[in-house]
Amino acid sequence: MAKLSKEEYLDMFLKMQQIRDVDMKLNKLVRRGFVQGMTHFSVGEEAASVGAIHDLTDQDIIFSNHRGHGQTIAKGISIPGMMAELAGKATGTSKGRGGSMHLANIEKGNYGTNGIVGGGYALAVGAALTQQYEGTDNIVIAFSGDSATNEGSFHESVNLAAVWNLPVIFFIINNRYGISTDISYSTKIPHLYTRADAYGIPGHYVEDGNDVIAVYEKMHEVIDYVRAGNGPAIVEVESYRWFGHSTADAGAYRTKEEVDSWKAKDPLKKYRAYLIDNKIATDEELDAIEKDVAQEVEDAVKFAEESPFPEMSVAFEDVWVD
C-alpha cells in the first residue's frame, strides 16, 4: 500500500468535492442556458477520476472523453477558468472555444476531452510515442467509458501501443451503459480489462471504482510499471453515472431502484467515512473543505457570468504554431 500524507488524502477529498459540486451546479445552470453546447456529467464517478490521476505529475498527459469534467478537475484545472470555458467566455481556459466536450489545460498536462467516441485513444498513443522518442519518463492516460472499447480506434491504438512498448494506460470507467444500451447487449465478455490478453499486455481491474483508495492503489502500481518502461496497460474500474447520458437524456431506460442502489454507494460518503474511521481527518476539517468548495464554485459561476464573450477574431488564433 502506497503511503500518503494527510495533505494528499485531503487533496483527494477536495478534488472529489469539486467534481461533485461543479457538476451539480452545472446541472441547474444548463436549464438557464449558461452552458454552451452539450454537457455530460461525472456525478457518481468522482473516485475513479481522482484515484486514477492523483499520482500523475503536471508533465504526465491525459486525454479524456465527452464525460471529462471529473478528469479535468482532478488534473488541476482552474475552476473559474473551467466555468468561463463552459459558458463560452473569453476568460475560459480555451478562450471560450472548447466548451464541455473539449476542455483542455495544457500547462497541467490535460490535452483535452473529446466529443468523438474513442477519439482520444490514438491521440494518447501519439503523445506516448513522443515521450518515448524524447526519452522522458512521462506517461499518458487515455480515459474512456465502456462502450468506446468497441470502437475500432481502441483496438488499433492498444495494438500499436503494445507493439511499440509505449508508456500509455488505457483507463476504462465502466458505468454499464453506452447512452441507453446496457453493456450486456453490446459486449460478450464480462470484464473489459481481459481484452489486454489479446495484445500481450497486462490488464487490471478494480471492482469498486467508487472507492478512491482502491483506485489509487491500483493506479499507483500500474503507473510505476508503465513509467519504468514496461509498456502499456489496461485498467478497468466499475462505477456509475447518477444522471442520464447527457443533459438531453432523462435516463428512462434505468429503474429508480437501480439508480438508488448506486447512490447508496456514493464515493464521497465512502471516502469521508474512510478518513474519519482511520482518524486521518475530522468532521470539522472535512466540513470546512465542503464549505470552501461550495463558495469556490459560486465564485467561479459569478466570474464566468461577468466575463465577456470572445471577439470573433479568436476563432483564428492558435491555429498554427508561431
State the total domains in the chain. 1
Specify which residues 161 forms β-bridges with.
none
Span 243-252, mean pLDDT?
91
How distant, in Å, are the alpha carbons of 43, 50, 131, 232, 255 from that of 53?
Answer: 17, 5, 18, 16, 32
Span 111-123, mean pLDDT?
96
Please indicate, yes or no, if residue 315 is contained in any of the structural domains. Answer: no
pLDDT in tens, 135-181: 999 999 999 999 999 999 999 999 999 999 999 999 999 999 999 99
The pLDDT score that the predictor gives to residue 319 is 85
Please indicate, yes or no, if residue 320 is contained in any of the structural domains. Answer: no
pLDDT in tens, 230-240: 999 999 999 99
The pLDDT score that the predictor gives to residue 123 is 98
**Is the pLDDT reported for residue 15 higher than 70?**
yes
The pLDDT score that the predictor gives to residue 38 is 84
Nearest to residue 39, comparing CAs of 69, 75, 15, 76?
A: 69
User: 3-class secondary structure for the chain?
Assistant: CCCCCHHHHHHHHHHHHHHHHHHHHHHHHHHHCCCCCCCCCCCCCHHHHHHHHCCCCCCCEEECCCCCHHHHHHCCCCHHHHHHHHCCCCCCCCCCCCCHHHCCEHHHCECCCCCCCCCHHHHHHHHHHHHHHHCCCCCEEEEEECHHHHCHHHHHHHHHHHHCCCCEEEEEEECCEECCEEHHHCCCCCCHHHHHHHHCCCEEEECCCCCHHHHHHHHHHHHHHHHHHHCCEEEEEECCCCCCCCCCCCCCCCCHHHHHHHHCCCHHHHHHHHHHHCCCCCHHHHHHHHHHHHHHHHHHHHHHHHCCCCCHHHHHCCCCCC
Please indicate, yes or no, if residue 314 is contained in any of the structural domains. Answer: no
The pLDDT score that the predictor gives to residue 321 is 79
Please indicate, yes or no, if residue 65 is contained in any of the structural domains. Answer: yes
**Residues 242/303, Cβ–Cβ less than 8 Å:** no
The pLDDT score that the predictor gives to residue 320 is 85
Please indicate, yes or no, if residue 223 is contained in any of the structural domains. Answer: yes
When pLDDT is cut at 50, 70 and 90, the band that residue 255 belongs to is very high
pLDDT in tens, 199-229: 999 999 999 999 999 999 999 999 999 999 9
Instruction: Specify the higher pLDDT residue, 248 or 44.
Output: 44
When pLDDT is cut at 50, 70 and 90, the band that residue 1 belongs to is low
Span 57-82, mean pLDDT?
97
Please indicate, yes or no, if residue 184 is contained in any of the structural domains. Answer: yes
* CA triple 282-14-176, angle to 5 deg: 110
**Is the pLDDT reported for residue 2 higher than 80?**
no
Please indicate, yes or no, if residue 312 is contained in any of the structural domains. Answer: no
Residue 213's CATH number: 3.40.50.970
The pLDDT score that the predictor gives to residue 191 is 97
Please indicate, yes or no, if residue 74 is contained in any of the structural domains. Answer: yes
Give the mean pLDDT of the chain: 96
Look up the domain containing 32 and give its range: 6-307
**Residues 111/61, Cβ–Cβ less than 8 Å:** yes
Q: How far apart are CA 83 and CA 61, in angstroms?
A: 22
